[in-house]
Amino acid sequence: MSENLKGKVALITGSTRGIGRAIAISMAEAGCNIVISSRRQDACDDLAAEINAQSDHVSALACAANIAEKEDLRRLTDATLQKWGRIDILICNAATNPYYGTMSGISDDAFRTILSNNILSNHWLVQFARPGMVEQRDGVIIVVSSIGGLRGSSVIGAYNISKAADMQLVRNLAMELGPYGIRVNCLAPGLIKTDFSKAIWNDAEKRRQHESLTPLRRIGEPADIAGAALFLASPASRFLTGQTIVVDGGATIVGL
């Protein structure tokens, strides 16, 4: 699989920690040139330097961008094209959830922020990357969603709505871009050991309860999602598009 990714260019948002970082490192190990992006330039610089120090065969570009700002995403795309002339793999990983509570209590501003950062930003980035992919008649787009998009919730409802919308965004894009040889798929992680979900896995009782209800009896690691991303980015998945791949240790198959 990795042999088929050598020399490819992969742009990954939210790639300085957690799932995004694991994906970036795995893609670099597979031979991809990497664009590291998050809100902090120093964090981007640190990971790019780490990747560049580990290999003479790949290169990492650090480019900070705020996914809430359309022009930041345009600049991110332009910087990638200026350095390498193309984008082969686009991974929309960055997302936010500034609110924890019921739908009746969420403010309009918080709801708009979630929808904008988790859906609209992905739409913007795809629109900036797609012309080059269409021209080369080849490309891979991966949106990192969540199993929350398949479930209801009384505390992260708005976040789940945004993640369900990402799944539909992927289906629409797969229809539009398939004729140009561009594949678009979605990853839906379950509980993964990242800062985003620390309130759950760092609580011994909550973690024990979750693991006891998960067929594989553990929570996920960022590397588990990186492996799935490598599969979707590679020719091994060349006949797969418009799909949401659930990576949750089996959590969503458990009945009452």
The reported pLDDT for the residue numbered 1 is: 44
For residue 23, being part of any structural domain is answered with: yes
Average pLDDT over residues 127-152: 97
Q: What DSSP string describes 66-103? A: -TT-HHHHHHHHHHHHHHHS--SEEEE--------B-G
Per the structure, the complete domain to which residue 146 belongs is given by: 2-245
The token duo for 238 is: 């060349």
For residue 214, being part of any structural domain is answered with: yes
Domain with 146 in it: what CATH number? 3.40.50.720
For residue 162, being part of any structural domain is answered with: yes
Contact 11, 48 (CB under 8 A): no
* Total tally of structural domains belonging to the chain: 1
Residues annotated catalytic, as ranges: 159
Position 199 confidence tier, pLDDT thresholds 50, 70, 90 = confident
204: left (phi over 0), alpha (psi -120 to 50) or beta: alpha
Contact 225, 192 (CB under 8 A): yes
For residue 252, being part of any structural domain is answered with: no
Neighbours of 100 (CB within 10 A): 12
- Is it the case that residue 3 has pLDDT exceeding 60? no
Q: Helix 41-54 vs helix 18-29: angle between axes, to the nearest 10 degrees?
A: 30
For residue 253, being part of any structural domain is answered with: no
pLDDT (tens digit per residue) in 200-222? 778 888 888 888 999 999 999 99
Lowest average pLDDT, out of 29-43, 81-95, 190-204, goes to 190-204
For residue 250, being part of any structural domain is answered with: no
Average pLDDT over residues 147-165: 96
Comparing 109 with 1, which gets the higher pLDDT?
A: 109
Neighbours of 135 (CB within 10 A): 11
Pairing of strands 244-247, 182-189: parallel
